[in-house]
Structure 1
Amino acid sequence: MKIIHVVYSLEMGGAEILVAQLCRLQREHGHDVSVIAYSNLGTLGEQLLAEGIPVLVLGEASLPRTFIRFIGEFRRLRPDVVHCHNPAPTLQAAIPARLAGARSVLATRHSLVAPPYEKGAEISFNLVARFCDWVVGICDATCENLRHTSGAPRNRIVRVYNGVDPVIPVAAAEQPAKTGLTLLFVGRLAPVKSLPTLIRAVAIAVSRVPDLHLWLVGHGAERPQLDELVSELEIEDHITFWGERLNVAGFFSAADIYCMSSTSEGVPMSLLQAMSVGLPSVVTDVGGMAEVVKNSNAGLTTPVGDAAAMAEAIVQLASDPERRAFHAENARAAYWKHFTLECVDASYMELYQRRR
């Protein structure tokens, strides 16, 4: 089967990591896989090219010109499947894929698609989505949100949970040095992650867990403000910013609890990676993230924006090794049953071959 994944770019991000890993697995299974990116190559694109997986960058242009270029590429490559990831690639490539004769066209929404909706944008997406065989939401919450948008093709919306390659634990000598109990966050330092809530929670919790530390792995525009907040709260000795890292296995191997304080979230790759190594989690009660943690009994959830509640949850787990172990075992078991890359690939393969 010839499969083309269409993305905005292959910069480091949850959806992009999933696409890159799907490309590798689908190639291992004997499929002819490639990627078309609209904007730029990115770190993950460079990795795929180095591994021999074709990646074409179209370059940004007007929508009519982009349509024409996609039609030309699809007619040249003659794919069986065109899999668009997120709204912009769907708007740009779904109709050209259908016009060029692709047998199966899918669109995956990798976010929560939480209200309030941008009505015009969702109407545009839903009109184009009628050229797709399936519109995939990455959790039940995403699917439910999609069904409530104006003009949604409700009978085409299906759920496929995200999956990810497991983190392979590394030896202690390869892990970052640590003392005490370590919390971990891996992701973009972006407003939607609400990291001030997590940092304030740590500032509250250290009064009861003095050896508590938080590792933040990732980069983003919020870094200067977060530095200021850490200084203001006088908890510099309890917070470490590690920047963006391609290899995060050492951090997951060394940490004790995984934390996310997002205000909106689908099913983050980093949460699934944490589950794969048996890390219990403290996350905000939002979207697919809370859905996964609750259904798996893999940790605790707290209200969005409530630093005191998050601090209490952190203290509960930090102070109770048996409870951490209970949630850790549940997390590991749920990952291997539902959230491996093989699980998500099998679901997509079934959709690729099940046309409407």
Structure 2
Amino acid sequence: MATSVALETREARRMGDGRRILMFLTSLDDEGGAEVQVVQLAIRLHSRGWKVMVVSMLRPQSAEARLRSAGIPVFGLNMTPSVPDPRALLRLRRIVAGFKPHVMHAHMAHASLMARSLRLVARIPRLICTLHGARMYNTRGQGWALRELAHRFTDPLANRTTAVSREAAAHYTATGAVSQKRMFVVYNGIDCEKYNFDAGMRMMMRSELGLTGQFVWLAAGRLQQVKDFPTMLRAFALACDDRPDSLLLIAGDGVLKPELQQLASELHIESKVRFLGRRKDVPALMSAADGFLLTSVFEGLPLVLLEAAASKLPAVATNTGGNSEALVDGRTGYLAEVGNPASIAASMLRLCQQPQAELQEMQHAAREHARNNFEFSGIVRQWERVYEEVIAPQGAKR
């Protein structure tokens, strides 16, 4: 075993071979899915021999310490959200000139556009842009047509543009925001060992939470508009009419919490909904739960659905973005219509009324789906192949 690990380590370091990768993203927040993905990718690439630097448009936040403790340098352009700052482009130019990356890998829409702009005035040998959302969207529910137009006109400045789901890739190529010949799909990755069902943890957590025989639904994520928690609460209220033994745990925080608590009271389900706040023990909560719930309006490829699958936790999710790739409808959970409480409630009842044997099949299928498609070790190797392709002489052609 030790020999195989040593061989893999040597192989990984040969793959990296000191090549320099500059990860550039909008923010370094350890709550956002894209940010979590970039931090994990940076740390894993560093351990495999790549020289990695991470630069954030905004002032680095909580994730900075994790990167620095792994030996990865972190810089912030210290921009203010929604405030253009030409000086930030100059700061980024100096950082790039000093680090001399073989590849600059920009994540999310803002950072991708800024990196493409930089390429007009600075030497960046290779540029990869990853779009993490299913579309360019803001929390007011508006599609940003101008931003997609900007991506269309700057598309030739990127060697590759990648999306985190097939649905997202199809959207961007259909709107002309990205050329089909430059668009690739690389899924988000998760650590399937961290997220795995633990029977002992289930008993301990259910006891700690005072749970008895209820069917427990879990939702996890920031309480923000795009996640559509009001529809979730209305769907849960409908499901409770047929399954009054249901309980909903919501792990997460945000400015919408007071109005969501008020809505739960108006729906007369306040005794069945627990707002747990931000939690560091989501893997344990997933072991304690019986079903996972995600009612987003838009998604790229939500890590939380992948984590639920790895935890053998069947899910009900709205059919948007990459949800249909994270969840196999009828096999690892059920899809429902966006914004439709009745559709979501029907899927919830379908899941919780499954015979035990069929529910166990669904649990094992979810775990298998996660391991086969989203295990981070495989995703890192995919990224290494993409980097090697663009670093090779033919990768210079745009």
Is the structural similarity TM-score above 0.5? yes
Aligned equivalent of 1:32:
51
Quick check: 1:315 aligned with 2:315? no
1:261-318 C-alpha deviation (Å, 9 max, x unpaired): 1111111000001111111111111121123313783111111112122112212221
2:187 corresponding residue in structure 1: 161
Corresponding residue for 2:24?
6
- CA distance 1:204–1:152, change in 2 (3 Å): same
User: For 1:92, which of 108, 114, 119 is the aligned residue?
Assistant: 114
Per-residue CA distance 1:150-186 (angstroms, 9 max, x = gap): 4532210111111112215553365252231111111
Match of 1:60 among 76, 79, 82: 79
After superposition, what is the alpha-carbon deviation per residue over 1:47-74, rounded to whole angstroms, capped at 9, x for unaligned? 2223332211111174432222111101
The alignment covers a number of residue pairs equal to 356
Q: Which residue of 2 aligns with 1:350?
A: 385
Q: Contact between 1:136 and 1:159, CA under 8 Å: does it hold in 2?
A: yes
CA, structure 1 residues 341+289, in 2 after alignment: closer, same or farther (shift >3 Å)?
same
TM superposition outliers: structure 1 runs of 4+ over 3 Å? 97-103, 114-117, 168-171
Contact 1:66 1:92 in 2 (8 A): no
- Residue in structure 2 matched with residue 49 of structure 1 by the alignment: 68
SS in structure 2 of the partner of residue 70 of structure 1: helix
The question of whether the paired residues in 2 share the 8 Å contact of 1:49 and 1:55 is answered with: yes
Q: Which residue of 1 aligns with 2:132?
A: 110
Q: TM-score, normalised by structure 1?
A: 0.93
Q: Distance in 1 between matches of 2:275 and 2:329?
A: 31
* Alignment partner of 1:184 is 2:206: no
Residue 333 (structure 2) pairs with residue 299 (structure 1): yes
- Paired AA for residue 343 in structure 1: G
Find the aligned partners of 1:49 and 1:224 in 2 and give their Cα distance: 36
- Conserved in 2, the CA contact under 8 Å of 1:108 and 1:137? yes
SS in 1 for 2:150: helix
Partner of residue 327 from structure 1, selected from 362, 370, 373 = 362
After TM superposition, give the deviation of residue 6 of structure 1 in Å: 0.7
1:236 aligns with 2:262: no
Q: What displacement does 1:148 show?
A: 2.2
- Residue number in structure 1 paired with 2:35: 16
Question: Residue 121 of structure 1 is aligned with which of 147, 154, 162?
Answer: 147
Instruction: Say if 1:182 and 1:215, in contact at 8 Å, map to a contact too.
Output: yes
Q: Does 1:195 align with 2:229?
A: yes
- In structure 1, the residue corresponding to 2:157 is in which secondary structure? coil
Q: C-alpha separation between the residues in 1 aligned to 2:330 and 2:47?
A: 30
Asked if 2 retains the 8 angstrom alpha-carbon contact of 1:84 and 1:94, the reply is: no
- Describe the SS at the equivalent of 2:358: helix
Q: Would the aligned equivalents of 2:196 and 2:312 in 1 still touch at CA under 8 Å?
A: no
Report if the CA contact (8 A) 1:90-1:128 is conserved.
no
Q: CA deviation at 1:114?
A: 6.7
Greater radius of gyration (CA): 2
Change (3 A) 1:231 1:117: closer
- Of 141, 148, 165 in structure 1, the residue corresponding to residue 174 of structure 2 is 148
| Structural mapping, 1:129-144, within 5 Å | 129-144=155-170
Q: In the alignment, what sits opposite 2:14? A: none
SS of 1:42's equivalent in the other structure is: coil
Q: How far off is 1:98 after superposition?
A: 7.4
- Distance, in Å, in 2 between the alignment partners of 1:296 and 1:315 is 13
Contact 2:52 2:72 in 1 (8 A): yes
Structure 2 unpaired stretches of 5+: 1-18
Q: Aligned letter for 1:298?
A: T
Give the secondary structure class of the aligned counterpart of 1:58. strand
Distance in 1 (CA, whole Å) between partners of 2:280 and 2:101 is: 31
The Cα offsets for residues 56-93 of structure 1, whole Å up to 9 and x where unpaired, read as 11111744322221111011011112110011111212
- Equivalent residues of 2:55, 2:76 under 8 A apart: yes
* TM-score, normalization by structure 2: 0.84
Bigger CA drift: 343-352 or 108-117?
Answer: 108-117
Letter of the 1:123 partner, please give it: L
- Contact (CA 8 Å) 2:306, 2:326: kept in 1 or not? no
